[in-house]
Amino acid sequence: MKVGVLGAGSMGIGIAQIAAGFGHEVILCDNNAASMERSIQGLTKILHRLVEKGRITTEYVRDLLGRIQQTSLINEFNDCDIVIEAIVENLAVKKSVFQKMEDVVSDTCILATNTSSLSVASIAAACQKPERVIGVHFFNPAPLMKLVEIIPAIQTSAEVLKKSRDLIDSWQKVTVLAKDTPGFIVNRVARPFYGESLRILEEGIADVATIDWAMTELAGFRMGPFTLMDYIGNDVNYIVTETVFTAFYFDPRYKPAFTQKRLSEAGYLGRKTGRGYYNYAEGATNPKANQDQALGQQIVDRVIVMLINEAADALFWNVASAEDIDLAMTKGVNYPKGLLAWADEWGIDKCVKLMEELRETYHEDRYRCSPLLLRMARQGDMFFEEDV
């Protein structure tokens, strides 16, 4: 298949690298010449570094880069079999672009969007042939992250779903199937990792360093929530939270935090600006964690049970299968365990008890327990069999 990629930002160039690496001719399109040049130079630098380490050969690099054709004209997509869009997360812009692409591509070309949280059905509705549109959500950096969420819109044909998933599987990615609901699997289920940590901070229960310590040292996450938000960018993380909150009709479970909004407004975006929850200036002193085990366990229990509750609710609403939900969280965001398997390990009764304690304390709908957890606790069920 000939692959088109629209957008030469970090995600677009990553997808182009994967496709070219698996032997596809790639048309990489971006109307920003400077962005295109930066991305190609960056990719070339990464590949040559891998050559120096003996992981790939100079011939491989030459062939890979030779398969990527750069252009500023979407007309060049005319003979592509699939075009993957990886541009700004703006529904109006995406719909406009899909309409323009449809005027150019063949009748059989698949049009895929890499959106992380927008409605695939809305994007498809902008097209004359909405059945050809599908969500194919990679995670950054695309060449390294194994997970890809496949999101068929209600209009997507079974043939387009199969062809798209088969293609991404052939790129040695781990694909999971998600319903076209806000945030899909990962960006929905992961919200409490940030949101509940921010809530704990705003209540004054613990500071940034202590929460990060608890979630890494006691819970086993690779990065604490505040380190991760600084890495992602507070502006980006806040917008995703706000988008999911709005899309779920202002469900309090996804309510954004004023702390993050103010940091974004102040330009304290994290690593990229040198300051966020932490100060990244040379010689800066950041607070030390309070390594109190009881406090740390309180933080872990609260954040993890909210994540488990969100994963259970995603299963309850048929967003994805239990296997795909756990796969998405371990392969997409490197969680130490699948959340539903974690619930089995803790015991469903414990999960329900922790949720009910939070609800009793706050009397907020934010802390409502998933009906699935309540039902499973009554019936003594588990998400997976004992030997899984």
Identify the active-site residue in 114, 116, 164, 264.
Answer: 116
Cα–Cα dist 276/318, whole Å: 36
What is the C-alpha separation between 114 and 191, in angstroms, rounded?
19
Is 202 a known active-site residue?
no
Annotated active-site residue 187? The verdict is: yes
Choice among 39, 119, 187, 237 that is catalytic: 187
Q: Are strands 133-138 and 147-152 parallel, antiparallel or unpaired?
A: antiparallel
Cβ neighbours, 10 Å, residue 249: 8
Q: Give the angle subtended at the CA of 299 by the CAs of 293 and 300, to the nearest 5°.
A: 85
Q: Is the dihedral of CA 255, 257, 258, 260 positive or negative?
A: negative
Q: How far is 81 from 367, CA to CA, in rounded Å?
A: 46
Structure-block tokens of residue 218: 């006691």
Q: What is the CA radius of gyration of the chain?
A: 22
Question: Which one of the listed residues 114, 119, 137, 164 is annotated catalytic?
Answer: 137
* 149 in catalytic set: yes
- H or E stretch covering 82: strand 82-85
How far CA 338 is from CA of 74, 139, 221, 381, 388, in Å, comes to: 40, 18, 12, 17, 11
Options 102, 149, 196, 310, the catalytic residue: 149
* Residues with catalytic roles: 116, 137, 149, 187
